Amino acid sequence: MSGGAGSYEVAVAGTGLHAFGRFEGTSVTDLGAAAVRAALLDAELAHSGFDAAFCASVYSGVAAAHKVLGSLGMTGMPIYTVEAGCASGGAALSLAVESIRSGRHDTVLVFGMEKMSAGIIRSSFFEPWREEAGLAATPAYFALRARRLMETSNVTREHLAEVSVKNHDNGVRNPDAMYREAVTREQVLASTMVCDPLTLFMLCSPNEGAAALVLRRASGAGGEIRLTAAEVRSHLPGSVLGEATPLAGLVDDSIPAPTTLAADAAYEAAGVGPGDLDVVECQDTDSARELLSYEELRLCPPGEAAAWIDARHTHLGGPLPVNPSGGLLSKGEPLGASALGQVVELTLQLRGAAGPRQVDGARVALGHTVGRGANAGVTILTR
Protein backbone atom coordinates (compact mmCIF):
# COMPACT_ATOMS: atom_id res chain seq x y z
CA MET A 1 0.00 0.00 0.00
CA SER A 2 1.00 3.54 -0.49
CA GLY A 3 0.99 5.63 2.64
CA GLY A 4 2.52 5.08 6.03
CA ALA A 5 6.12 3.89 5.94
CA GLY A 6 7.28 1.27 8.42
CA SER A 7 3.72 0.06 8.67
CA TYR A 8 2.25 -3.08 10.20
CA GLU A 9 1.73 -6.23 8.18
CA VAL A 10 -1.69 -7.76 7.61
CA ALA A 11 -2.75 -11.39 7.99
CA VAL A 12 -5.94 -13.17 6.95
CA ALA A 13 -7.33 -14.57 10.21
CA GLY A 14 -10.51 -16.09 8.84
CA THR A 15 -12.71 -16.44 5.79
CA GLY A 16 -16.40 -17.05 5.24
CA LEU A 17 -18.58 -17.54 2.21
CA HIS A 18 -22.23 -17.81 1.38
CA ALA A 19 -22.39 -19.90 -1.80
CA PHE A 20 -22.94 -17.95 -5.04
CA GLY A 21 -26.18 -18.73 -6.85
CA ARG A 22 -29.85 -17.83 -6.61
CA PHE A 23 -31.58 -18.00 -3.27
CA GLU A 24 -35.23 -17.09 -3.39
CA GLY A 25 -36.54 -15.96 -0.03
CA THR A 26 -33.10 -15.13 1.35
CA SER A 27 -32.51 -11.39 1.76
CA VAL A 28 -29.24 -9.70 0.94
CA THR A 29 -28.91 -9.03 4.68
CA ASP A 30 -29.19 -12.77 5.37
CA LEU A 31 -26.58 -13.52 2.72
CA GLY A 32 -24.14 -11.06 4.26
CA ALA A 33 -24.80 -12.28 7.78
CA ALA A 34 -24.11 -15.89 6.82
CA ALA A 35 -20.71 -15.01 5.37
CA VAL A 36 -19.84 -12.79 8.36
CA ARG A 37 -20.74 -15.54 10.85
CA ALA A 38 -18.62 -18.05 8.95
CA ALA A 39 -15.60 -15.72 8.85
CA LEU A 40 -15.82 -14.90 12.56
CA LEU A 41 -16.08 -18.60 13.37
CA ASP A 42 -13.10 -19.41 11.16
CA ALA A 43 -11.07 -16.66 12.85
CA GLU A 44 -12.22 -17.86 16.29
CA LEU A 45 -13.20 -14.29 16.99
CA ALA A 46 -15.56 -13.34 19.80
CA HIS A 47 -18.89 -11.62 19.09
CA SER A 48 -18.13 -8.06 17.89
CA GLY A 49 -14.43 -8.78 18.26
CA PHE A 50 -13.41 -6.47 15.43
CA ASP A 51 -12.50 -2.78 15.52
CA ALA A 52 -14.14 -1.71 12.26
CA ALA A 53 -16.12 -3.19 9.38
CA PHE A 54 -15.72 -2.47 5.66
CA CYS A 55 -18.48 -3.70 3.39
CA ALA A 56 -18.71 -3.89 -0.41
CA SER A 57 -22.08 -3.81 -2.17
CA VAL A 58 -23.55 -2.12 -5.23
CA TYR A 59 -27.28 -2.78 -5.36
CA SER A 60 -28.13 -3.24 -1.67
CA GLY A 61 -29.35 0.26 -0.88
CA VAL A 62 -28.72 2.59 2.02
CA ALA A 63 -26.62 1.43 4.98
CA ALA A 64 -26.44 -2.16 3.72
CA ALA A 65 -23.57 -3.06 6.04
CA HIS A 66 -25.37 -1.69 9.08
CA LYS A 67 -28.33 -3.93 8.34
CA VAL A 68 -26.13 -7.03 8.22
CA LEU A 69 -24.21 -6.26 11.40
CA GLY A 70 -27.33 -4.91 13.09
CA SER A 71 -29.03 -8.26 12.48
CA LEU A 72 -26.19 -9.88 14.44
CA GLY A 73 -26.04 -7.29 17.22
CA MET A 74 -22.52 -6.36 16.16
CA THR A 75 -22.52 -2.58 16.07
CA GLY A 76 -20.87 0.32 17.82
CA MET A 77 -17.64 0.18 15.82
CA PRO A 78 -17.19 2.21 12.60
CA ILE A 79 -18.99 0.56 9.69
CA TYR A 80 -18.35 1.63 6.08
CA THR A 81 -20.09 0.56 2.88
CA VAL A 82 -18.04 0.96 -0.31
CA GLU A 83 -19.30 0.96 -3.89
CA ALA A 84 -16.88 0.66 -6.80
CA GLY A 85 -18.72 -1.48 -9.35
CA CYS A 86 -17.19 -4.91 -9.95
CA ALA A 87 -14.13 -3.80 -7.95
CA SER A 88 -16.16 -2.92 -4.83
CA GLY A 89 -14.67 -5.78 -2.83
CA GLY A 90 -11.16 -4.75 -3.83
CA ALA A 91 -11.89 -1.19 -2.74
CA ALA A 92 -13.28 -2.27 0.66
CA LEU A 93 -10.31 -4.57 1.12
CA SER A 94 -7.84 -1.82 0.26
CA LEU A 95 -9.33 0.50 2.90
CA ALA A 96 -9.43 -2.29 5.48
CA VAL A 97 -5.81 -3.26 4.88
CA GLU A 98 -4.69 0.34 5.14
CA SER A 99 -6.51 0.73 8.46
CA ILE A 100 -4.37 -2.06 9.91
CA ARG A 101 -1.14 -1.00 8.23
CA SER A 102 -1.48 2.46 9.66
CA GLY A 103 -1.88 1.07 13.14
CA ARG A 104 -5.35 2.48 13.57
CA HIS A 105 -6.99 -0.93 13.93
CA ASP A 106 -5.79 -4.39 15.04
CA THR A 107 -8.63 -6.53 13.72
CA VAL A 108 -11.15 -5.66 11.03
CA LEU A 109 -14.02 -7.35 9.25
CA VAL A 110 -14.35 -7.05 5.48
CA PHE A 111 -17.41 -8.44 3.76
CA GLY A 112 -19.38 -8.07 0.57
CA MET A 113 -22.77 -9.25 -0.59
CA GLU A 114 -25.14 -8.84 -3.49
CA LYS A 115 -28.53 -9.97 -4.69
CA MET A 116 -29.02 -9.40 -8.41
CA SER A 117 -31.64 -10.55 -10.87
CA ALA A 118 -30.76 -12.60 -13.94
CA GLY A 119 -30.11 -11.02 -17.32
CA ILE A 120 -28.71 -7.67 -18.37
CA ILE A 121 -28.43 -5.42 -15.34
CA ARG A 122 -30.17 -2.08 -15.67
CA SER A 123 -27.61 0.31 -14.33
CA SER A 124 -28.02 3.93 -13.28
CA PHE A 125 -24.58 4.33 -14.87
CA PHE A 126 -25.90 5.16 -18.34
CA GLU A 127 -27.87 8.29 -19.16
CA PRO A 128 -31.47 7.63 -20.36
CA TRP A 129 -30.78 8.81 -23.95
CA ARG A 130 -27.93 6.36 -24.21
CA GLU A 131 -30.26 3.54 -23.24
CA GLU A 132 -32.85 4.80 -25.72
CA ALA A 133 -30.22 4.77 -28.48
CA GLY A 134 -29.24 1.18 -27.70
CA LEU A 135 -25.81 2.28 -26.50
CA ALA A 136 -26.18 0.78 -23.02
CA ALA A 137 -25.94 -2.91 -23.90
CA THR A 138 -23.38 -4.10 -21.35
CA PRO A 139 -22.45 -7.47 -22.94
CA ALA A 140 -22.01 -5.70 -26.27
CA TYR A 141 -19.10 -3.74 -24.81
CA PHE A 142 -17.51 -7.03 -23.75
CA ALA A 143 -18.05 -8.29 -27.30
CA LEU A 144 -16.33 -5.23 -28.78
CA ARG A 145 -13.29 -5.97 -26.63
CA ALA A 146 -13.38 -9.64 -27.60
CA ARG A 147 -13.55 -8.79 -31.32
CA ARG A 148 -10.67 -6.34 -30.96
CA LEU A 149 -8.61 -9.00 -29.18
CA MET A 150 -9.31 -11.41 -32.05
CA GLU A 151 -8.28 -8.77 -34.59
CA THR A 152 -5.03 -7.84 -32.86
CA SER A 153 -3.81 -11.27 -31.74
CA ASN A 154 -4.22 -14.91 -32.70
CA VAL A 155 -7.09 -15.41 -30.26
CA THR A 156 -9.94 -17.28 -31.97
CA ARG A 157 -13.47 -18.31 -30.98
CA GLU A 158 -11.98 -21.67 -29.97
CA HIS A 159 -9.69 -19.96 -27.46
CA LEU A 160 -12.64 -18.05 -26.03
CA ALA A 161 -14.51 -21.35 -25.75
CA GLU A 162 -11.58 -23.08 -24.07
CA VAL A 163 -11.49 -20.45 -21.28
CA SER A 164 -15.10 -21.34 -20.57
CA VAL A 165 -14.33 -25.09 -20.69
CA LYS A 166 -11.42 -24.62 -18.27
CA ASN A 167 -13.36 -22.58 -15.75
CA HIS A 168 -16.40 -24.84 -15.86
CA ASP A 169 -14.13 -27.87 -15.34
CA ASN A 170 -12.78 -26.14 -12.24
CA GLY A 171 -16.27 -25.16 -11.10
CA VAL A 172 -17.28 -28.84 -11.00
CA ARG A 173 -14.81 -29.13 -8.11
CA ASN A 174 -16.25 -26.16 -6.18
CA PRO A 175 -19.38 -26.80 -4.08
CA ASP A 176 -19.91 -23.04 -3.70
CA ALA A 177 -20.16 -22.41 -7.47
CA MET A 178 -23.50 -21.84 -9.22
CA TYR A 179 -22.75 -23.90 -12.36
CA ARG A 180 -21.17 -27.23 -11.60
CA GLU A 181 -21.35 -29.00 -14.94
CA ALA A 182 -18.50 -29.49 -17.35
CA VAL A 183 -19.00 -28.18 -20.88
CA THR A 184 -17.23 -29.01 -24.14
CA ARG A 185 -15.86 -26.50 -26.63
CA GLU A 186 -18.57 -27.57 -29.03
CA GLN A 187 -21.25 -26.88 -26.42
CA VAL A 188 -19.79 -23.47 -25.63
CA LEU A 189 -19.63 -22.51 -29.30
CA ALA A 190 -23.15 -23.84 -29.94
CA SER A 191 -24.72 -22.13 -26.92
CA THR A 192 -26.98 -19.14 -27.59
CA MET A 193 -25.22 -16.26 -29.32
CA VAL A 194 -25.46 -13.22 -27.05
CA CYS A 195 -23.22 -10.68 -28.80
CA ASP A 196 -20.91 -12.03 -31.48
CA PRO A 197 -18.33 -13.49 -30.80
CA LEU A 198 -19.55 -14.13 -27.24
CA THR A 199 -21.98 -16.98 -26.64
CA LEU A 200 -24.00 -17.55 -23.46
CA PHE A 201 -21.44 -19.96 -21.96
CA MET A 202 -18.67 -17.38 -22.45
CA LEU A 203 -20.43 -14.83 -20.22
CA CYS A 204 -20.88 -14.86 -16.46
CA SER A 205 -24.26 -14.36 -14.81
CA PRO A 206 -25.01 -11.70 -12.26
CA ASN A 207 -26.33 -13.53 -9.20
CA GLU A 208 -26.37 -13.64 -5.40
CA GLY A 209 -23.85 -14.43 -2.72
CA ALA A 210 -21.60 -13.09 -0.01
CA ALA A 211 -18.01 -13.38 1.18
CA ALA A 212 -16.25 -12.19 4.33
CA LEU A 213 -12.74 -11.95 5.74
CA VAL A 214 -11.29 -11.20 9.14
CA LEU A 215 -7.99 -9.35 8.85
CA ARG A 216 -5.61 -8.92 11.72
CA ARG A 217 -2.26 -7.30 12.38
CA ALA A 218 0.23 -10.05 11.48
CA SER A 219 1.89 -11.76 14.45
CA GLY A 220 4.90 -13.04 12.55
CA ALA A 221 4.00 -16.63 13.37
CA GLY A 222 4.91 -19.25 10.77
CA GLY A 223 2.16 -20.37 8.41
CA GLU A 224 0.27 -17.09 8.54
CA ILE A 225 -1.44 -16.04 5.31
CA ARG A 226 -0.23 -12.49 4.66
CA LEU A 227 -2.20 -10.01 2.63
CA THR A 228 0.79 -8.22 1.14
CA ALA A 229 -0.99 -5.96 -1.34
CA ALA A 230 -4.52 -4.69 -1.92
CA GLU A 231 -4.34 -1.97 -4.54
CA VAL A 232 -7.10 -0.20 -6.43
CA ARG A 233 -6.60 2.06 -9.41
CA SER A 234 -9.09 3.88 -11.61
CA HIS A 235 -8.91 4.25 -15.38
CA LEU A 236 -6.99 6.87 -17.28
CA PRO A 237 -9.10 8.72 -19.86
CA GLY A 238 -8.89 7.99 -23.56
CA SER A 239 -9.37 4.24 -23.93
CA VAL A 240 -12.59 3.79 -25.90
CA LEU A 241 -13.08 0.17 -24.80
CA GLY A 242 -12.11 0.70 -21.18
CA GLU A 243 -14.50 -0.34 -18.42
CA ALA A 244 -15.46 3.30 -18.00
CA THR A 245 -17.46 2.72 -21.23
CA PRO A 246 -17.10 6.24 -22.66
CA LEU A 247 -18.72 7.14 -25.99
CA ALA A 248 -15.40 8.15 -27.51
CA GLY A 249 -11.68 7.74 -27.04
CA LEU A 250 -8.35 8.73 -28.46
CA VAL A 251 -6.50 7.05 -31.32
CA ASP A 252 -3.90 5.83 -28.86
CA ASP A 253 -3.28 2.21 -27.87
CA SER A 254 -0.61 2.99 -25.29
CA ILE A 255 -2.93 4.11 -22.48
CA PRO A 256 -2.36 1.65 -19.62
CA ALA A 257 -5.42 -0.26 -18.41
CA PRO A 258 -6.51 0.25 -14.78
CA THR A 259 -5.72 -3.44 -14.24
CA THR A 260 -2.09 -2.80 -15.20
CA LEU A 261 -1.90 0.27 -12.95
CA ALA A 262 -3.26 -1.72 -10.00
CA ALA A 263 -1.11 -4.78 -10.76
CA ASP A 264 2.11 -2.79 -10.98
CA ALA A 265 1.32 -1.09 -7.68
CA ALA A 266 0.50 -4.43 -6.07
CA TYR A 267 3.66 -6.14 -7.32
CA GLU A 268 5.71 -3.28 -5.93
CA ALA A 269 3.90 -3.27 -2.58
CA ALA A 270 4.23 -7.04 -2.19
CA GLY A 271 7.80 -7.20 -3.46
CA VAL A 272 6.95 -9.95 -5.94
CA GLY A 273 6.63 -10.14 -9.71
CA PRO A 274 4.27 -12.03 -11.98
CA GLY A 275 6.85 -14.82 -12.27
CA ASP A 276 6.55 -15.52 -8.54
CA LEU A 277 2.83 -16.30 -8.67
CA ASP A 278 1.55 -19.84 -8.09
CA VAL A 279 -2.18 -19.28 -8.51
CA VAL A 280 -4.45 -16.49 -9.82
CA GLU A 281 -8.14 -15.64 -9.60
CA CYS A 282 -8.96 -13.05 -12.26
CA GLN A 283 -11.96 -11.21 -13.63
CA ASP A 284 -13.62 -13.49 -16.17
CA THR A 285 -16.86 -11.59 -16.73
CA ASP A 286 -16.46 -13.03 -20.21
CA SER A 287 -13.89 -15.35 -21.75
CA ALA A 288 -12.06 -12.55 -23.54
CA ARG A 289 -11.78 -10.56 -20.32
CA GLU A 290 -9.80 -13.43 -18.78
CA LEU A 291 -7.39 -13.52 -21.73
CA LEU A 292 -6.97 -9.74 -21.62
CA SER A 293 -6.31 -10.00 -17.90
CA TYR A 294 -3.37 -12.35 -18.55
CA GLU A 295 -1.72 -9.57 -20.52
CA GLU A 296 -2.86 -6.62 -18.41
CA LEU A 297 -1.61 -8.36 -15.23
CA ARG A 298 1.66 -9.08 -17.09
CA LEU A 299 1.21 -12.82 -16.49
CA CYS A 300 2.08 -13.47 -20.13
CA PRO A 301 3.85 -11.32 -22.73
CA PRO A 302 1.57 -9.25 -24.98
CA GLY A 303 -0.02 -11.40 -27.66
CA GLU A 304 0.70 -14.71 -25.87
CA ALA A 305 -2.67 -15.35 -24.24
CA ALA A 306 -3.84 -17.71 -26.99
CA ALA A 307 -0.61 -19.71 -26.82
CA TRP A 308 -1.03 -20.00 -23.06
CA ILE A 309 -4.49 -21.45 -23.41
CA ASP A 310 -3.29 -23.83 -26.16
CA ALA A 311 -0.49 -25.02 -23.85
CA ARG A 312 -2.93 -25.42 -20.92
CA HIS A 313 -0.64 -23.09 -18.99
CA THR A 314 -3.51 -21.77 -16.84
CA HIS A 315 -5.47 -25.00 -16.45
CA LEU A 316 -5.33 -26.84 -13.11
CA GLY A 317 -2.08 -28.81 -13.24
CA GLY A 318 -0.44 -26.20 -15.47
CA PRO A 319 2.38 -23.86 -14.39
CA LEU A 320 0.02 -21.04 -13.35
CA PRO A 321 -3.59 -22.11 -12.73
CA VAL A 322 -6.07 -19.25 -13.23
CA ASN A 323 -9.51 -19.35 -11.66
CA PRO A 324 -9.25 -22.72 -9.93
CA SER A 325 -12.51 -21.79 -8.15
CA GLY A 326 -14.27 -21.92 -11.51
CA GLY A 327 -14.12 -18.16 -11.85
CA LEU A 328 -17.11 -15.94 -12.32
CA LEU A 329 -18.09 -18.07 -15.31
CA SER A 330 -18.91 -20.91 -12.89
CA LYS A 331 -19.67 -19.01 -9.72
CA GLY A 332 -21.63 -16.11 -11.19
CA GLU A 333 -20.91 -12.52 -10.25
CA PRO A 334 -22.51 -11.04 -7.15
CA LEU A 335 -20.73 -7.70 -7.59
CA GLY A 336 -19.98 -6.77 -3.98
CA ALA A 337 -18.91 -10.32 -3.12
CA SER A 338 -16.88 -11.30 -6.17
CA ALA A 339 -13.47 -9.83 -5.24
CA LEU A 340 -13.69 -11.04 -1.65
CA GLY A 341 -14.81 -14.45 -2.90
CA GLN A 342 -11.52 -14.60 -4.80
CA VAL A 343 -9.58 -13.85 -1.62
CA VAL A 344 -11.51 -16.59 0.20
CA GLU A 345 -10.53 -19.02 -2.57
CA LEU A 346 -6.89 -17.91 -2.57
CA THR A 347 -6.67 -18.22 1.22
CA LEU A 348 -7.94 -21.81 0.92
CA GLN A 349 -5.32 -22.44 -1.77
CA LEU A 350 -2.50 -21.06 0.41
CA ARG A 351 -3.72 -23.09 3.39
CA GLY A 352 -3.65 -26.21 1.22
CA ALA A 353 -7.34 -26.65 1.97
CA ALA A 354 -8.83 -26.34 -1.52
CA GLY A 355 -9.56 -30.05 -1.88
CA PRO A 356 -9.97 -31.38 -5.44
CA ARG A 357 -9.00 -28.02 -6.96
CA GLN A 358 -5.87 -27.50 -4.84
CA VAL A 359 -2.85 -25.99 -6.59
CA ASP A 360 -0.01 -27.98 -5.06
CA GLY A 361 2.39 -26.01 -2.91
CA ALA A 362 0.84 -22.62 -3.65
CA ARG A 363 2.66 -19.88 -1.73
CA VAL A 364 2.01 -16.65 -3.71
CA ALA A 365 -1.48 -15.83 -5.00
CA LEU A 366 -3.08 -12.93 -6.88
CA GLY A 367 -6.71 -11.85 -7.10
CA HIS A 368 -8.01 -9.37 -9.69
CA THR A 369 -11.29 -7.62 -10.38
CA VAL A 370 -12.14 -4.79 -12.73
CA GLY A 371 -15.39 -3.18 -13.65
CA ARG A 372 -17.54 -0.21 -14.24
CA GLY A 373 -16.34 3.12 -13.03
CA ALA A 374 -13.75 2.06 -13.96
CA ASN A 375 -11.81 0.62 -11.09
CA ALA A 376 -9.45 -2.32 -10.97
CA GLY A 377 -8.39 -4.08 -7.79
CA VAL A 378 -5.39 -6.38 -7.40
CA THR A 379 -4.72 -8.33 -4.21
CA ILE A 380 -1.63 -10.40 -3.44
CA LEU A 381 -1.45 -13.01 -0.69
CA THR A 382 1.59 -14.96 0.44
CA ARG A 383 2.28 -17.73 2.89
Partner 1 sequence: MRVSDTFPVRDGLFAIVEGGTPLLITGRCNDCARLHFPQQSTCPYCAATTVTQELLDGEASLWTWTSVLREPPGYRGPVPFGFGVVELEAGIRIVTRLTESDPRQLTAGMPMRLVVDDLHTDDEGRVVQTYAFAPVTDMGVPPDTDPPGADGEAG
Residues that bind partner 1 (CB under 8 A): 120, 122-123, 126, 128-138, 140, 143-145, 147-148, 151, 193-198, 237-238, 240-241, 245-251
Specify the amino acid at residue 225: I
- β-pair partners for 309: none
Q: Which helix (H) or strand (E) segment is 369 a member of?
A: strand 364-371
In angstroms, what is the minimal distance from the CB of 233 to partner 1? Answer: 18
In angstroms, what is the minimal distance from the CB of 143 to partner 1? Answer: 4
Separation between Cα atoms, residue 367 and residue 29, nearest integer Å:
25
Q: 363: buried, middle or exposed (CB in 10 Å: 19+, 13-18, 0-12)?
A: middle
CB closer to partner 1 out of 188 and 322: 188
CB closer to partner 1 out of 131 and 360: 131
Separation between Cα atoms, residue 64 and residue 79, nearest integer Å:
10
The answer for residues whose C-beta is within 8 angstroms of residue 59's C-beta and 6 or more apart is 114, 115, 116, 335, 336
In angstroms, what is the minimal distance from the CB of 370 to partner 1? Answer: 19
In angstroms, what is the minimal distance from the CB of 138 to partner 1? Answer: 8
Query: Rounded to the nearest 5°, which phi and psi values hold at 277?
Result: -75, 145
CB closer to partner 1 out of 196 and 310: 196
In angstroms, what is the minimal distance from the CB of 255 to partner 1? Answer: 11
In angstroms, what is the minimal distance from the CB of 118 to partner 1? Answer: 13
Separation between Cα atoms, residue 70 and residue 21, nearest integer Å:
24
Instruction: Say if strands 375-382 and 226-234 run parallel, antiparallel, or are unpaired.
Output: antiparallel
In angstroms, what is the minimal distance from the CB of 125 to partner 1? Answer: 11
Say how many residues make up the chain: 383
Q: Which helix (H) or strand (E) segment is 28 a member of?
A: helix 28-42
CB closer to partner 1 out of 135 and 272: 135
Query: Rounded to the nearest 5°, which phi and psi values hold at 19?
Result: -45, 150
CB closer to partner 1 out of 121 and 172: 121
Q: Which of 19, 93, 31 shows the shortest CA–CA distance to 59?
A: 31
CB closer to partner 1 out of 222 and 254: 254
In angstroms, what is the minimal distance from the CB of 245 to partner 1? Answer: 8
CB closer to partner 1 out of 197 and 326: 197
| Integer angstrom CA distances of residue 322 from 8, 100, 178 | 30, 29, 18
> How many CA atoms does the CB half-sphere of 100 hold within 13 Å?
32
Instruction: Say if strands 193-195 and 52-56 run parallel, antiparallel, or are unpaired.
Output: unpaired
CB closer to partner 1 out of 172 and 241: 241
